[in-house]
Structure 1
């Protein structure tokens, strides 16, 4: 018999949260996201990396893949993250730009789920962000041919050391040509708040032209 403490079927959390009604929501989903993101950031270290989000992509024939990335900016246009364009997610976005994002703020019993379309940001925007990255992260973007097979970690470290010799600390590192940002433009955004007895609040914004419709979903 499995140890009850290790049995996922026996693992339950009884959420105690403030009820959310439609009237309390912001007019736009990005305004509502700003409220929740601020609360997640200010949760006194309860949430590790509140800007971490799961990005789901799919191939043209429907094979999905997911990974966690860090959101680096957001505004009314959408959510921005950076990666290698030749990575698996980059290749899948090129073939099928429909993506989903998930912000899993479990300690607050909250999730935000976004569906939308991803497109590359301009090179000027990519370069501006790249300049803010730590020197080591800039070198890492060159050293890693993301998602490709590599014989060993030592080979990756050797690539890094060669780049560190070529671009020592204090010297400007050029932006890799196959590295840059994507902006996910939302079409729907769902705000999920956990409650007792699994009677959760699920409020979803749906884009209608230049405005948004809010609808409630059964939990």
Structure 2
């Protein structure tokens, strides 16, 4: 079966990305773009990002997770340390983050080195989560095989009964946060006739300063 999508296209024309208008620090540009996307994409998860790791079979693996915090130190997300992505990060800590924001016709690609955040920081975030989500962290042995959806719901009800009388639910030792420390950030702004704007920031190892350049679309 063949399905032809060759005539499915869009002409980008909402914004532009010029060197004179952008900050020297890519985090500021990231923040500006995210805030603008919030305005245009109300009630959507603008913090959704694709994370690409190198799987145990040597093949890239990509999935969508939610960005929960960002600062000069890096970008933080949370997951099961024993998941496919957790095991991949343990072996190869270099990963790629990608955001695509349709409303503003923008894309950001971030390459960085990943490491676990401190346990007390993971605890702090875990206790902010809804109780049902906390229980879900105990239920899920992420990326492992299970016999059925019914089995998963049974496990959830068992853990729910277990925690029913507890005032607080402890964070599972296998669940927590990662921080991605970027060394390369690319900003893509859609343009007419496929002449897109692409600005790349690279961090210099010797002084941690960012230098930028423009790439051909």
TM range (shorter): over 0.9
Rounded Cα–Cα distance in structure 2 between residues aligned with 1:96 and 1:59? 9
Does the 8 Å contact 2:83/2:142 carry over to 1? yes
Deviations 1:102-138 (A, max 9, x none): 0111221100100011100000110000011001100
TM-score (ref. length: structure 1): 0.94
Kindly state the Cα deviation for residue 167 of structure 1 after the two structures are TM-superposed. Answer: 1.1
Rounded Cα–Cα distance in structure 1 between residues aligned with 2:166 and 2:87? 33
User: Residues 65 and 146 (structure 1 numbering): CA distance in 2 closer, same or farther, change over 3 Å?
Assistant: same
Kindly state the Cα deviation for residue 169 of structure 1 after the two structures are TM-superposed. Answer: 7.7
User: Residues 44 and 58 (structure 1 numbering): CA distance in 2 closer, same or farther, change over 3 Å?
Assistant: closer
1:99 maps onto 2:78 in alignment: no
Question: Counterparts of 1:129-208 in structure 2 under 5 Å?
Answer: 129-168=125-164, 171-208=167-204
Does the 8 Å contact 2:55/2:84 carry over to 1? no
1:83 maps onto 2:57 in alignment: no
Structure 1 unaligned regions, length at least 5:
none
Match of 1:14 in 2: 11
Rounded Cα–Cα distance in structure 1 between residues aligned with 2:24 and 2:74? 16
Runs of 4+, deviation exceeding 6 Å:
none
Rounded Cα–Cα distance in structure 1 between residues aligned with 2:15 and 2:150? 51
Please give the secondary structure, in 2, of the residue aligned with 1:8.
Answer: coil
Question: Counterparts of 1:15-94 in structure 2 under 5 Å?
Answer: 15-45=12-42, 48-59=44-55, 62-94=58-90
User: Residues 16 and 64 (structure 1 numbering): CA distance in 2 closer, same or farther, change over 3 Å?
Assistant: same
Question: Paired residues, what number?
Answer: 215
TM-score (ref. length: structure 2): 0.94
